[in-house]
Structure 1
């Protein structure tokens, strides 16, 4: 009869084990379409306009762009910022912290061994009789959890992915900091060039005021012209003071990036360069692997998926082995006196039975975390494509505007000089002079600002295309036959 029962139980036990093993297969919450995105062969801007990409091996990265600028001062500032910037130091500490977590999670591959020593003294009273008992114990305990379902391996995988996230975030922080240094340097140069323009205009207005006052004393013009010119001088001096504040703030912002005290002592003695991009922008399918921030997002998605596997396997039995050996005595110095040691070996299986749906809810929550992280990853990817499409389009728009304003400035400056000459001769009134001065000033200001916008857009575009490595800056200096055109000029 017993034989019959065993024969009936064996298939049931085997089936239960097969179901449990099948249930422990690692689940995934990542949609396959997220791994294989449907992307165009080239950026749409180049498909829908007459502008064509330069077909050359040099990819437009921040390294390439910095090499084309060939500015030793910028290179030195970037190296200084990498060494001293406090936000970057935080990233380094986060990376080191993630590396320590690798050690913590990897410890589950090994048994845990601990030594315990205890000494106790107690007094017992029985029927008004008291006795003093001494007890000393020493034990060596070993415990080890068997990774039957792969739960511990998934935890290790999650830690490894978190370390990769920290690495990618650090690399992206390096790229962001380098781009901020370049942008801050030319932002300071723009502010100083505008300051010089405002100072020159203020001086010109003062000279005009003296001529108009002299003519007024001779009775050649009206008092209104003197008041209007004086108003222009005062307004320009106020603008000059405001622009001086802009220079100070730009200097302090750059010093903060360098890790220096914000004394506003830093100044940029360079003119804004004109850089014509002709490097290869790559294809959309290559972008994800080059962008450190997108890599970090992808690793984050994989880490969340590993967390889902852990949450799933937390619902299954845990098997642990414990072993202990030791000795006890009434005196501490009698321990391990050569007598036989006590020992024990215990196997333990722990299976959650009832927890009011907590573990199931935790698994569902982990699945939702994967879905949320997946959508954040996809949103960042397509935002990156949008940034590049906008960047290359904006570059062409800014170039076109710059050409028009350059021509407008030439005409406006000539008109300003002619209008003032004609005013002194009594041909036109002072309103014409004011209008011509306003147009000349606006055109000159716009040219400086447009050149700065071109530089800022090129930095942002190069950063968006990824692939930055600060150690390669000095290795990517342009060759004599380089297609990129870099010119250092005045505000033009």
Structure 2
């Protein structure tokens, strides 16, 4: 008696699996890398926006702020943010699809059992019938169609995982930016409160002078108008702080009660991070990696569509027994096996198979275009963030000088007012200039922190696993 047919089918299955699956994936992965590279314009050897800091891209850019509260909030968001949870579920779903797509590469085995009772109305013929069987079926992947389908699903799962990683980075960046907005809003409210206090005193003095005839009604009206404008600015600043707090609580997965505690002052800006090289960005940034994996998935789907136009070969075998007596069902006399093969070649499908190839080719072209757009967008974000860092440093230096000079001017104007050399409104104008410069400086400090976050995100650096940099908080 020859060897059981299911062993033969299994041997064929494993041979085809080993020969086909790895070859299809390797070929299409190489084609995906080549197609992605061709879709991107020539990349310079270094960033055009900056000539320094071309060292390795830093990791741990959240820890670089040396703010334990911020670090704890980012970690809380990673655990609780609903968008991240949805992205994680998408990764699990994509991996399950990949396992499902690869299942036909192995034989399908099933066990059947049946029992029947026959009764005749008259005469003999009544009796029982018991049967048991083992069925094995397998489609020989002659042209790599099934392997390509599995490879497409695996590439899609890899893209989903890369998207999930980039979503983690993006959530970390969003938490940091919102955290800085909360602190700046609070500090802006303090500046606005200082303006209100100063103007309240001005109104008191002007009303007192008006009572004794040393000021006009125009003076009192102008002072009161300035005070009410300052109160409006203070209310807006406090409302901005509450709204930012609620947004931050929502990001980390808390109820938006506006009760979250943060640091009192903005942290210092860490030193500019290493920017690496433009060519390395495409291999590191998760959203670019995801786009390249989408190209690979599309190419594998194209292979599936092309192979669908070719003949398919299916093998099946079964072993089973049938007997009127249950105890004799496995008696060799009652056992039988079969082996069958089925070759199916498509002849006419109304153009459906050719249309599927055209659809798959269009998907490849679209994926390549999306990859190019994603890569160019990544380059743009890095170049713009590098430029912004240079200009923000220049602006901050100018504003720090402006604040220092304005404060000195206010000191001198107070002395001149005390000696009667200038009017009270001259002092008020100088004081407003000081507050305006301080407010602008706060905005620039937050812009610099945001620029550091945006550059780190654009470079694709991980926000975890780094030693905190010693950075003094802003004064």
SS at match of 1:221: coil
**Partner in structure 2 of residue 285 of structure 1:** 279
Q: CA deviation at 1:114?
A: 1.3
Number of aligned positions between the proteins:
448
Q: CA deviation at 1:39?
A: 1.1
Is the Cα–Cα contact under 8 Å of residues 135 and 330 in structure 1 kept in the other structure? yes
Per-residue CA distance 1:49-68 (angstroms, 9 max, x = gap): xxx3036x5x34352x3343
Are the structure 2 counterparts of residues 217 and 332 from structure 1 closer, same or farther at C-alpha, using a change threshold of 3 Å?
farther
SS at match of 1:486: coil
**Partner in structure 2 of residue 373 of structure 1:** 367
Q: CA deviation at 1:154?
A: 1.0
Is the Cα–Cα contact under 8 Å of residues 181 and 257 in structure 1 kept in the other structure? yes
**Partner in structure 2 of residue 488 of structure 1:** 473
Per-residue CA distance 1:424-466 (angstroms, 9 max, x = gap): 7765556645543443332121111111111111100111111
**Partner in structure 2 of residue 109 of structure 1:** 105
SS at match of 2:201: helix
Tell whether 2:71 aligns with 1:75.
Answer: yes
Is the Cα–Cα contact under 8 Å of residues 69 and 262 in structure 2 kept in the other structure? no
**Partner in structure 2 of residue 316 of structure 1:** 310
Q: CA deviation at 1:469?
A: 5.4
Where in structure 2 are the equivalents of 1:395-406 lying within 5 Å? 395-406=389-400
CA distance in 1, matches of 2:399, 2:62: 27
**Partner in structure 2 of residue 53 of structure 1:** 52
SS at match of 2:109: strand
Q: CA deviation at 1:419?
A: 5.2
SS at match of 2:318: strand
**Partner in structure 2 of residue 325 of structure 1:** 319
SS at match of 1:487: coil
CA distance in 2, matches of 1:31, 1:176: 26
Q: CA deviation at 1:339?
A: 4.6
Q: CA deviation at 1:35?
A: 2.3
Is the Cα–Cα contact under 8 Å of residues 36 and 292 in structure 2 kept in the other structure? no
CA distance in 2, matches of 1:424, 1:212: 15
Is the Cα–Cα contact under 8 Å of residues 36 and 295 in structure 2 kept in the other structure? no
Where in structure 2 are the equivalents of 1:93-108 lying within 5 Å? 93-108=89-104
Where in structure 2 are the equivalents of 1:254-293 lying within 5 Å? 254-275=248-269, 277-293=271-287
Is the Cα–Cα contact under 8 Å of residues 249 and 258 in structure 2 kept in the other structure? yes
Is the Cα–Cα contact under 8 Å of residues 144 and 322 in structure 1 kept in the other structure? yes
Where in structure 2 are the equivalents of 1:213-232 lying within 5 Å? 213-232=207-226
Q: CA deviation at 1:385?
A: 0.8
Is the Cα–Cα contact under 8 Å of residues 135 and 318 in structure 2 kept in the other structure? yes
CA distance in 1, matches of 2:200, 2:183: 26
CA distance in 2, matches of 1:68, 1:451: 16
CA distance in 2, matches of 1:313, 1:272: 60
Structure 1 runs, 4 residues or longer, greater than 6 Å off: 25-29, 121-125, 131-134, 330-334, 423-426
Q: CA deviation at 1:262?
A: 1.2
SS at match of 2:275: coil
- Aligned-pair Cα RMSD in Å: 3.1
In the alignment, structure 1 segments of 5+ residues that lack a partner are: 1-24, 47-51, 479-484
CA distance in 1, matches of 2:389, 2:146: 51
Per-residue CA distance 1:77-100 (angstroms, 9 max, x = gap): 222222222222222222222222
Q: CA deviation at 1:314?
A: 0.7
Normalising by structure 1, we get a TM-score of 0.82
Q: CA deviation at 1:168?
A: 1.1
Normalising by structure 2, we get a TM-score of 0.85
Are the structure 2 counterparts of residues 116 and 224 from structure 1 closer, same or farther at C-alpha, using a change threshold of 3 Å?
same
**Partner in structure 2 of residue 41 of structure 1:** 45
CA distance in 1, matches of 2:326, 2:418: 112
Which residue, 449, 456, 477 being the options, matches 2:468?
Answer: 477
